[in-house]
Amino acid sequence: MCYLLVEGARHTRSHCGYVIRLLAMGLISQLPYQWALGLNHLNMMFTLSLCFLLVVVVDSDWPQWAKVISGLSIAGLSIMCDWSVLAVFFTALFACLKGPKGTKIAYAGSWLLFFGFELATYGLSPIGVLQGFAATLGVAASGFVIIYLYNGKQRKGNPGRWFYYWFYPLHLIVLALLRWHFFYR
């Protein structure tokens, strides 16, 4: 998600429109998110909104000190959101490390950091390592697909982009209905 957000931020015609769409989907998704997962913090769309602002800051002409202070402020705000500081860090990696080699390094760094967090959760036992590895397979698979199959060009007239906006709240509604059906009936 973070890599695609960085690419989207760099290809969009309207930064304002992009962040408004992310925030609107965040608002639409908030109640289903809370119902589905039973969590009281802000959902991933709000995190991605902050990540988008980080990309704008990284790509700006601001002095380095202003970029660092803004990035740290964005990371601090993300604590109220799902995937908090991790998503901001991953986005910073992808925004700062450009080009094919930079993307590979950013994916490797993201995977290692995520794997480290999973090991801290599951422990260093053989089963814990296996669980941590399994939990990070999505990051590794997405990295492989993007590094070797993505050409870096924007698709013109992509009607499928709306699928990505609406998938998040719709899948949360399905999860909320399943949770209600199996746990509260």
**What confidence tens digit (pLDDT) does each residue in 4-61 have?**
899 888 888 899 999 999 999 999 999 999 999 989 999 999 999 999 999 999 999 9
Residue 159 has a pLDDT of 63
Check if the beta carbon of residue 56 is closer than 8 Å to that of residue 9.
Answer: yes
Residue 157 has a pLDDT of 65
- ∠ CA 149-151-157, nearest 5°, is 110
Q: Look at residue 100 and tell me whether its pLDDT is greater than 80.
A: yes
Tens digit of pLDDT for each residue in 126-166?
A: 898 999 889 888 888 888 888 888 777 766 666 666 777 88
Check if the beta carbon of residue 22 is closer than 8 Å to that of residue 42.
Answer: no
